[in-house]
Amino acid sequence: MTLEKGINIINSNAFKDCTELNDVKYNGYKTDWEKVRVNNAGNDTLTSKVQYLCDINFDLDGGTINGSDTMATQTVYSNEKLGTAKCYPNDQPFVVPTDPVREGYTFLGWYTQAEGGIKYTFTEAVSSNITLYAHWNAHSHTVTLENDENKETNSYDYGSSVSVPTPTKKTGYNFNHWEVTVPDGETAPSLNGPDENGNYSFSMPDYDIILTAKWTQKDVIDPDVDLKFDAVTGEVTSNNAKVNADDIINKKFYDDKGNEVPGEKLNDRGLPTEPGDYIVKVDVKETENTAPANQVTGNQIKWSYNVPQKEEKVTYTLSLLGGIAKVNGKDTTINDNGDITIEKGATVEVTFDKSILSDAQTFDQWTIKPASVLNAVDPKAETITFTMPGENVIIEAMTKDASIEEEPNILGTTLIIGTAAAGTAVLAYQTYQLGTEFYLICALPTGTAIPTNRGELAELVWNNAGKPEPAAVLNANATETDKAIAWAVENDLLKAAKNNGETYEATDPVSRTEVIKAWNQVQAFKK
């Protein structure tokens, strides 16, 4: 029996005694049937046998069947198995769809939910409208990264985003691009990037691919042409505009037996002091655009160097503040650090520079170090003459208020004037100590102790500069003091070695003048 959708009410006993009634089809949906008023009296058989319409829908989820990405809805009666059901209204057999296809995926079957759910076999009886969802499994393919001898392979699902880093640095070369290799007949994917992190990306295709790193060789620096070793100054310089002085590192000397020359056997220019034949070797940092030949061949750049038997001239430094100097009767030039290099034994004449005075000042005396020079001159004289000793000399002009008279009524005769060479030396030293101490108390940060040795001075200026990393490669166990001294030497705030070639110790004393000069230099760096 078929009941049409337009029925609104079924009275009691309408189907009484219809015990053979087995097939009752209602040409409406479950929601329609639920609106029909059925008097249950005598209609038990009807209500237990009725079948209503159910729509069967299919979601291909990106797949296609016979080129179409949609499939028509099929309508059957409830309680029928789809594999054997007839469709409404044409009474044609229900069509179980063929498997859909989707590029890059394998079809897994029809499921009752878009995610998860139960796999549908078309042998189940339907009881309501349903949608069956196609489930897929993405194909997995490999991406192989080849960088010279290094090879790395990983698997990715079709359509997933693949991230590829810029390959690690290759000495003497700049990375150019990734070359993409795909199977014959396939189109290579486009690589996007690099991004801010140096990564390239692409969408995984439906086949294996190989990415090969391609490099561009940098300009090769030829040491015989581009680098020059000065056997007089010991400096290695570059004629190539692409190579900076800071790029030339690790200069070392080796004797004829291949032994490295220790620092105590190098002079203040860093050259061997003992006669003989040597090899000097250097390294050059690789830059963005250049690579020296030694980094390509693996050999260090080197030159021959000979120290002749004749004795080298020994020079020392005169640090002069507030004066003009002549050496062996000739005018000399003071460098930016206030220093003059003078040979041992030379005659030095120092005259007070009156141009530094204001109207309210007058010359007082010289502060002089070492004592051998102090005792050889009159520190109250505006012009002094002495023989350059075998050590560095520090001379600074002291001024005073022009209104102060040379009378023994302020601090006493012995303190102000002095009556003998020894008294003069004491006066100069006391005045020097008081003046420099007052200057440093004013100049240094409040509460800072005045450095008394090389290590303390190095840490003072290094900390004030912000603890920059020294260019030199230090031992892994290097202390803060080691780093500070290395940086101070590199920036000419401290000397690398003594004039006799001996190595300084961190505990070696420093003068207050050296402290003032180093402090002022590091302040100039920061401007």
> What average pLDDT score do residues 183-210 get?
95
Q: Are residues 262 and 207 part of one domain? A: no
Q: Of all residues in the chain, what percent carry a pLDDT higher than 70?
A: 89
Structural domain boundaries enclosing 131: 2-138
Q: What are the distances in angstroms from CA 409 to CA 49, 74, 381, 435? A: 136, 125, 21, 20
> What average pLDDT score do residues 327-356 get?
91
Count structural domains, the chain: 5
Report which of 324, 333, 327, 318 is spatially closest to residue 369, judged by C-alpha positions.
Answer: 318
Q: Are residues 100 and 60 part of one domain? A: yes
Burial class (CB in 10 A: 0-12, 13-18, 19+), 375: middle
Band (pLDDT 50/70/90 cuts) for residue 445 is confident
How far apart are alpha carbons 64 and 70 in whole angstroms? Answer: 7
Decide which of 434 and 5 is more confident.
5
Decide which of 205 and 311 is more confident.
205
- Secondary structure of 132-147 in the HEC alphabet? EEEEEEECEEEEEEEE
Residue 352: per-residue pLDDT? 93
301, β-bridge pairs: 282
194 prior amide bond cis, ω within 30: yes
Amino acid letter, 339 = D
Report which of 212, 138, 218, 210 is spatially closest to residue 174, judged by C-alpha positions.
Answer: 218
How far apart are alpha carbons 349 and 81 in whole angstroms? Answer: 121
**Lowest-confidence range among 23-27, 42-46, 398-402?**
42-46
Residue 350 lies in a domain: yes
180, β-bridge pairs: 211
Residue 414: per-residue pLDDT? 26
Model confidence at 417: pLDDT above 60: no
Find where tokens 């010279």 sit. Answer: 148
Which of 97, 123, 138 is the C-terminal boundary of a domain? 138
Residue 430 lies in a domain: no
Q: Are residues 262 and 175 part of one domain? A: no
**Per residue in 470-488, pLDDT tens?**
888 888 888 999 999 999 9
Q: 318-344 burial by CB neighbour count: b if 16+ within 10 A, else e?
A: bbbbbbbbebeeeebeeeeebbbebee
Please spell the DSSP secondary structure of 408-443, one letter per residue. TTSS-HHHHT-SSHHHHHHHHHHHHHHHHHHHHHHH
Residue 91: per-residue pLDDT? 92
How far apart are alpha carbons 354 and 442 in whole angstroms? Answer: 25
Q: Are residues 87 and 111 part of one domain? A: yes
Q: Are 207 and 182 in contact (CB under 8 A)?
A: yes
Please spell the DSSP secondary structure of 51-106, one letter per residue. EEEEEEEEE-TT-BBTTBS----EEEETT-BTTT-BBTTT-PBP-PPPPPB-TTEE
Q: What CATH number is attached to the domain comprising 156?
A: 2.60.40.4270
Q: Are 383 and 352 in contact (CB under 8 A)?
A: yes
CA 442 to chain centre: 39
Name the average pLDDT for the chain. Answer: 85
The torsion angle over the Cα atoms of residues 23, 29, 35 and 40, rounded to 10 degrees, is: 20
516's enclosing H/E stretch is: helix 512-525
Residue 189 lies in a domain: yes
Residue 421: per-residue pLDDT? 37
Q: Are residues 68 and 43 part of one domain? A: yes
Q: Are residues 90 and 195 part of one domain? A: no
Residue 199 lies in a domain: yes
Residue 196: per-residue pLDDT? 93
Residue 298: per-residue pLDDT? 53
The torsion angle over the Cα atoms of residues 117, 118, 119 and 121, rounded to 10 degrees, is: -140
Report which of 415, 405, 416, 519 is spatially closest to residue 464, judged by C-alpha positions.
Answer: 519
Q: Are residues 348 and 386 part of one domain? A: yes
Q: Are residues 332 and 299 part of one domain? A: no
Residue 446: per-residue pLDDT? 66
Residues 6+ apart with CB under 8 A from 455: 481, 484, 485, 506, 507
Q: Are residues 406 and 327 part of one domain? A: yes
Residue 441 lies in a domain: no
User: Tokens standing for 518?
Assistant: 């180093």
Residue 296 lies in a domain: yes
The number of residues making up the chain comes to 527
Number of H-type helices and E-type strands within the chain? 10, 29
Q: Are residues 236 and 190 part of one domain? A: no
How far apart are alpha carbons 398 and 322 in whole angstroms? Answer: 8
Residue 448 lies in a domain: no
How far apart are alpha carbons 281 and 207 in whole angstroms? Answer: 53
Residue 318: per-residue pLDDT? 94
**Lowest-confidence range among 82-91, 301-310, 331-340, 518-527?**
301-310
Q: Where are the beta strands (DSSP E) in 298-375?
A: 301-307, 315-321, 323-327, 330-331, 339-343, 347-352, 361-369
Alpha helices in 217-343 (DSSP H): 223-226, 293-297
Model confidence at 81: pLDDT above 50: yes
Residues 6+ apart with CB under 8 A from 276: 255, 256, 306, 307
Q: Are residues 134 and 27 part of one domain? A: yes
Band (pLDDT 50/70/90 cuts) for residue 422 is very low
Q: Are residues 506 and 477 part of one domain? A: yes
Q: What is the DSSP letter of 511?
A: -
Residues 6+ apart with CB under 8 A from 511: 369, 394
Model confidence at 413: pLDDT above 70: no
Residues 6+ apart with CB under 8 A from 520: 443
Model confidence at 420: pLDDT above 50: no
Q: What are the distances in angstroms from CA 184 to CA 188, 190, 202, 209? A: 10, 17, 19, 11
How far apart are alpha carbons 72 and 91 in whole angstroms? Answer: 16
Which of 104, 138, 172 is the C-terminal boundary of a domain? 138
Residue 75 lies in a domain: yes
Report which of 263, 262, 300, 257 is spatially closest to residue 277, judged by C-alpha positions.
Answer: 257
Model confidence at 22: pLDDT above 80: no
Decide which of 14 and 228 is more confident.
228
Which of 411, 442, 467 is the C-terminal boundary of a domain? 411
Residue 426: per-residue pLDDT? 42
How far apart are alpha carbons 265 and 268 in whole angstroms? Answer: 10
Task: Residue 110: count other Cβ atoms within 10 Å of its Cβ.
Answer: 22
**Cα end-to-end span (Å), the chain:** 104
Record the pTM. 0.45
**Per residue in 96-108, pLDDT tens?**
999 999 999 999 9
